[in-house]
Chain A
Amino acid sequence: MTEADKEFTIESYLDYIRNKKLMGSKCKDCGEQYVPVRRLCTKCNSTNMEWVEMSGKGKIAAFTSITVGTPFFVEKGYGRNKPYCFSVIKLDEGPMVSGQLVGVDESKPETISVGMPVKSTFLETEIKDETKIDLGFEPL
């Protein structure tokens, strides 16, 4: 399937992530960009979308260092003694996305700050025989 054929669905978006690409949809009528992908432009009601690749660069808009995590993160070994960072990132292109923030000292959240520049990274987790790939971010 070529890129032009990819439908503007969540599965297509996640498939790009699995291939280590952060893609969004751009409205060909008004130019609004969406990450994660959207089929309908809620700014101008158009469905005239195209795929665009994001630079992956952005700034921290909000973050937290979590000690009591979700079952998936607990399974990954995070917990009271090894917190992980959840973040909302404002991409340079405009949209915001959620992702785990790595490459920071999670046990010292005071060393992390809103506005800090970051870039995307793709986090691999081995689950059973499969490798799961999630969008993450790290300091630039």
Chain B
Amino acid sequence: MAKLARKVALVGAGMCKFGRNFPLQRNPDMWVEAWLNAVKTVDNGIEPKDIDACYIGNYSSDLFNHQGHLGPQMANLVGLTPKPAPRFEGACASSGIALRQAVIAIASGVHDVIAVGGVECMTEVSTTLVTDTLATASDSIFEYPAGATFPGLYAAIASAHFHKYGTTAEDLMRVGIKNHENGKENPFAQMQQSIKEMMASKKARYKEQGRDIPDWKDEFDFLKSSSNPMIASPLRLFDCSLITDGAACLFLVAGDVAKKFTDTPIWITGTGQGSAALSLHDRDSLTSFIATREAARQAYQMSGLKPKDIQICEVHDCFTIAEILAMEDLGFYEKGKAVEAIKNGETKLDGRFPINTSGGLKSKGHPVGATGAAHAVETFKQMRGIAERNRQVKFDVERAMTHNLGGSGGTCVVHIYEK
């Protein structure tokens, strides 16, 4: 695996507030908000004339919004016409791919500065249509007719992981509890509430309505109750990420011109992408994602770093079980050992190795095509020491990683960042 032929730096990153933004905000509105927030983070400023291309990641505006061809539309709104404006698709890894392609294009010498975007507006259509659209990222010929839904595929993976390693539903719940704790500190998150806070507000509402106030002992008690219905065993509602509208924007520049924009660039020193058979039944393992292992292998090799060198990581927790698989497949923990680390609190904000300080897809939200770029936004903030509220980790982050997974693991993109 070759090194990058030219150094590539991240010099600015921002996102819009994630949530059910439609119809007050559509893709163009969210993208411009993300762009403006990203521009604010570039120390010496950045203008359209500085930028060579606009790379947009988006999964399915075609089905969600009856709109294809997003690249030129987004580029025009920020003054980048007539520069190249391609769109990239790889299910939930779409903007991770856009980021990676921008890194490659800059490293190759073709471009010096690229604006990378991720956009997705999911709530314009009904939940049924959202579910059906997401299902097109899995195999529609053999899995779909067998009844596979997206939560269903991850639930099947969970069943295999439970069987092989003794993982339990409570282990999954710990992931959700942690990510909500982090998300409540993120002003850009869709659900800015811890599970405890949600329990309290539910109790208050029940009291107001004169209904019996539930007697939940703790978060686990609540998460095992009918307030957290089963979606696909063993995954309940709070094991699933959210349906979200959102956009994120990144500015990537060549090492030779980085000084023009900032004195403190964040270097992208490793990029990797892997793939796997779309259908679970065509894979060798149901308890590990080969696409993640391959993407991580490439990124580690390119950067020269090892798993133990990474200080924080944003992983793709589209379902709680996915965070556990990622922790193992990225090489941070041996297979079957991630749950112990979660139990010990290692991956909490104040732990030894914080994971998903943003709140993750579970709490921050998951506008699928924007998620990969949003991972980089959180990483940029943590490395710069500008994460909002009480979300900033307590140590200086010099080396970080993002992990962006597409579909049920058919695509994975991994990036390594260094100061």
The reply to whether chain A is a binding partner of chain B is: yes
Residues of chain A whose beta carbon lies under 8 Å from any beta carbon of chain B: 10, 36, 61-73, 78, 80, 83-89, 95-100, 109, 113-115, 134-135
Whose C-beta in chain B lies nearest to the C-beta of A137? B146
Whose C-beta in chain A lies nearest to the C-beta of B146? A98
C-alpha spacing A99/B146, complex, angstroms: 5
Known interface pairs A65-B232, A109-B234. Does A70 touch B149 (Cβ–Cβ under 8 Å)? Answer: yes
Output the residue of B145, B146, B157, B280 with the most chain A CB within 10 A. B146
Say yes or no: B163 contacts A114, CB within 8 Å: yes
| A88 → B minimal CB distance (Å) | 5
Say yes or no: B141 contacts A10, CB within 8 Å: yes
| B233 → A minimal CB distance (Å) | 4
User: Which of chain B's residues have a CB closer than 8 A to the CB of A62?
Assistant: 156-157, 159-160, 280, 286
C-alpha spacing A114/B281, complex, angstroms: 14
Across chains A and B, the number of contacting residue pairs, with CB separation under 8 Å, is: 105
| B149 → A minimal CB distance (Å) | 6
Output the residue of A73, A88, A115 with the most chain B CB within 10 A. A88
Other A-B pairs beyond A98-B279, A98-B281, 11, CB < 8 Å: A62-B156, A64-B234, A66-B147, A67-B230, A83-B233, A88-B280, A89-B281, A98-B280, A100-B146, A109-B234, A134-B145
User: Which of chain B's residues have a CB closer than 8 A to the CB of A84?
Assistant: 147
Contact sample, A vs B, 11 pairs, CB 8 Å cutoff: A62-B157, A62-B286, A64-B158, A64-B234, A67-B232, A68-B231, A70-B149, A80-B229, A86-B156, A98-B142, A98-B146
Known interface pairs A62-B286, A96-B281. Does A70 touch B148 (Cβ–Cβ under 8 Å)? Answer: yes
Say yes or no: A86 contacts B152, CB within 8 Å: yes
User: Which of chain A's residues have a CB closer than 8 A to the CB of B135?
Assistant: 70
C-alpha spacing A87/B157, complex, angstroms: 10
User: Which of chain A's residues have a CB closer than 8 A to the CB of B158?
Assistant: 64
| B275 → A minimal CB distance (Å) | 13
Say yes or no: B146 contacts A115, CB within 8 Å: no
C-alpha spacing A135/B281, complex, angstroms: 14
User: Which of chain B's residues have a CB closer than 8 A to the CB of A98?
Assistant: 142-143, 146, 148, 279-281
Whose C-beta in chain B lies nearest to the C-beta of A108? B233
C-alpha spacing A87/B234, complex, angstroms: 13
Question: Which B residues from 149 to 168 make CB contacts under 8 A with A?
Answer: 149, 151-152, 155-160, 162-163
Known interface pairs A72-B145, A96-B281. Does A63 touch B159 (Cβ–Cβ under 8 Å)? Answer: yes
User: Which of chain A's residues have a CB closer than 8 A to the CB of B235?
Assistant: 64
| A19 → B minimal CB distance (Å) | 17
- Judge if B128 is at the interface, Cβ distance under 8 Å: yes
Residues of chain B whose beta carbon lies under 8 Å from any beta carbon of chain A: 128, 131-132, 135, 141-149, 151-152, 155-160, 162-163, 229-235, 279-283, 286
User: Which of chain B's residues have a CB closer than 8 A to the CB of A69?
Assistant: 147, 149
Q: Which of A68, A109, A115 contacts B151 (CB 8 A)?
A: A68
Whose C-beta in chain B lies nearest to the C-beta of A97? B281
For the complex of A and B, 7 pairs with smallest distance between CB atoms:
A64-B155, A114-B163, A62-B156, A96-B281, A109-B233, A98-B146, A62-B160
Say yes or no: B144 contacts A70, CB within 8 Å: yes
Q: Which of B142, B147, B234 contacts A36 (CB 8 A)?
A: B142
C-alpha spacing A110/B326, complex, angstroms: 26
User: Which of chain A's residues have a CB closer than 8 A to the CB of B232?
Assistant: 64-68, 86
User: Which of chain B's residues have a CB closer than 8 A to the CB of A70?
Assistant: 131-132, 135, 144, 147-149
User: Which of chain B's residues have a CB closer than 8 A to the CB of A66?
Assistant: 147, 149, 151-152, 155, 231-233
| B73 → A minimal CB distance (Å) | 30
C-alpha spacing A127/B358, complex, angstroms: 46
Say yes or no: B163 contacts A73, CB within 8 Å: no
Known interface pairs A71-B132, A98-B279. Does A114 touch B146 (Cβ–Cβ under 8 Å)? Answer: no
Known interface pairs A70-B132, A70-B135, A100-B147. Does A64 touch B281 (Cβ–Cβ under 8 Å)? Answer: no
Say yes or no: B286 contacts A61, CB within 8 Å: yes
Whose C-beta in chain B lies nearest to the C-beta of A60? B159
Whose C-beta in chain B lies nearest to the C-beta of A14? B141
User: Which of chain B's residues have a CB closer than 8 A to the CB of A73?
Assistant: 147
User: Which of chain A's residues have a CB closer than 8 A to the CB of B162?
Assistant: 114
C-alpha spacing A122/B392, complex, angstroms: 56
